[in-house]
Amino acid sequence: MVTFVDHVTLHLKAGHGGNGCVSVRREKFKPLAGPDGGNGGHGGDIVLVSDPQTTTLLGFHRHPHQSSDNGGPGMGDHRAGGNGGELELAVPIGTVVKDADGVELIDMSEPGMRFVVAEGGQGGLGNASLATTKRKAPGFALLGTEGWEGDVLLELKTVADVALVGYPSAGKSSLVAAMSAAKPKIADYPFTTLHPNLGVVETGSVRYTIADVPGLIEGASEGKGLGLEFLRHVERCSALLHVLDCATLEPGRDPISDLDVILGELAAYPVPEGQVPLLDRPQLIALNKIDVPEARELADFVKPDLEARGYRVFEISTASHEGLRQLSFALAELVEDSRIAAAADPKPAKIVMRPRAVDDAGFVIKVEGGTHGNVYRIIGAKPERWVQQTDFTNDEAVGFLADRLAKLGVEDQLFKSGAVSGSAVVIGRGNGVVFDWEPTLTSTAELVTSPRGSDPRLEGQRRRTSNQRREEYFELMDAKAEARAELVREKEAGLWADEDEL
């Protein structure tokens, strides 16, 4: 079954950042000449680009899983890893991007708009970038962080100047084909049109687009038929054209009742905040299929009643093209007036600035009850990223993480939250990284096997030289000789005597 895809869920996975490198430069006569580990490359972003040449989301419906390249790892000799390639996804103009919870992220209503929907991971720093005056030879590097992974919703809302609305088989697709070069599917059964058809019309010096919105029946705004799926495509149109079937053979239907039903459905459909309600927009009426004699008579009969309601009414035939020229010029006039009004009252771009609060520490601590006491969970962008960058098999890297957390003020906040020695602390959501907190340690330098800021590989030789061993030997012999002389003096002074002399 052929279906029109105007909303799709994308499963995105941005590239991970590359790990930093731990390396020590080695030259002739300089076996340990300092750290030279390069940084890891950044993971590739996934970017949505509004493209005028793209008209459907069908490609994403068939391939919903999209991923970008990972960053390369750092290397020795200060060589940085390559950045992952950026992945660009072309979407039609009028695509609304929402997160997994349905919150709108951006409305890509203009051509050429770019939106980073999934940010790549950050590359880790090599030990050369971590070297400071106090840590001259770091024996560790930072790991690359993971790229964003999750789902986003794409919803297409057709961008057209005029929307054709009406009952199924009223002749909307035929009108699009008659007024433009579009070739939609046309048949004599209801719901032939399964997706909005777009057509470009040139009338005089005005060029505008028309869209056929299919499937409007009574109850469409409540989910009946196909109307609810496609009513969203009416939101962006500046004018409405009601196409009424004057040759219908269904009992209980006539142009007046059809119009009332469609108006009721349009009134029941809520438009986004800030947009003009559908019924407040300019509207025209086209009485279609007047090439049929009975339909012409019916059109002549109902036209005065419709004009009495304030509508401009045109009798047309998509088969013989009768009345299409007058209708085309009337639509062009509405579109031109709408464009002039929009140009005279442009909406300034909203610049939203959200400065960081003065009391925002960059993280929060949530106290959660556990089987063996409270668990203190640390949630924040920086702590969570730092944990991802830490190699927990390296003691010096763990000490570096502890120093960063202490500098951020995590320990002070744990004290205020009631944490005591041995309390379980979790960094991150879900399982996270769990450790037992020791408040007496301002850092975990005691866990590092070498002094802070040093590397045992760069320390000097600890073996004694020949001169040192000779000096130590002479000092030992002199000490023994002095001890023997002291015994002799004590014996002569009568402080002690040998057993043979007693």
Which residue ranges make up the annotated binding site for Mg(2+)?
Answer: 173, 193
| Known binding-site positions | 166-173, 191-195, 212-215, 288-291, 317-319
Nearest to 362 by CA among 346, 386, 340, 335: 386
Pseudo-torsion of CA 291, 297, 302, 303, nearest 10°?
A: 60
Give the E-state strand segments of 299-349 in sequence order.
Answer: 312-315
Q: What is the largest CA-CA distance in the chain?
A: 158
For residues 290 and 296, the answer to whether their CB atoms sit within 8 Å is yes
| Distance (Å, whole) CA 349 – CA 351 | 6
CB atoms inside a 10 Å sphere around CB 123:
32
For residues 198 and 55, the answer to whether their CB atoms sit within 8 Å is yes
| Known binding-site positions for GTP | 166-173, 191-195, 212-215, 288-291, 317-319
Long-range CB pairs of 98-105, under 8 A, 24+ apart, other chains included: 98/152, 98/153, 98/154, 98/155, 99/150, 99/152, 99/153, 100/150, 100/151, 100/152, 100/153, 102/153, 105/152
- Three-class DSSP category at 255: helix
Nearest to 259 by CA among 320, 313, 190, 210: 313
Q: Which two tokens stand for residue 134?
A: 């106090």
Q: Which two tokens stand for residue 30?
A: 């300089």
Pseudo-torsion of CA 375, 149, 7, 228, nearest 10°?
A: 0
Residue 392, sorted as left (phi over 0), alpha (psi -120 to 50) or beta, turns out to be alpha
For residues 238 and 334, the answer to whether their CB atoms sit within 8 Å is yes
CA distances from 323 to 82, 206, 285, 472 (A): 64, 18, 12, 118
Give the E-state strand segments of 100-220 in sequence order.
Answer: 104-108, 114-118, 149-156, 162-165, 197-203, 206-212
**DSSP codes, 394-414:** -HHHHHHHHHHHHHHTHHHHH
Residue 33, sorted as left (phi over 0), alpha (psi -120 to 50) or beta, turns out to be alpha
Q: State residue 107 phi and psi, 5-degree precision.
A: -110, 110
For residues 396 and 35, the answer to whether their CB atoms sit within 8 Å is no
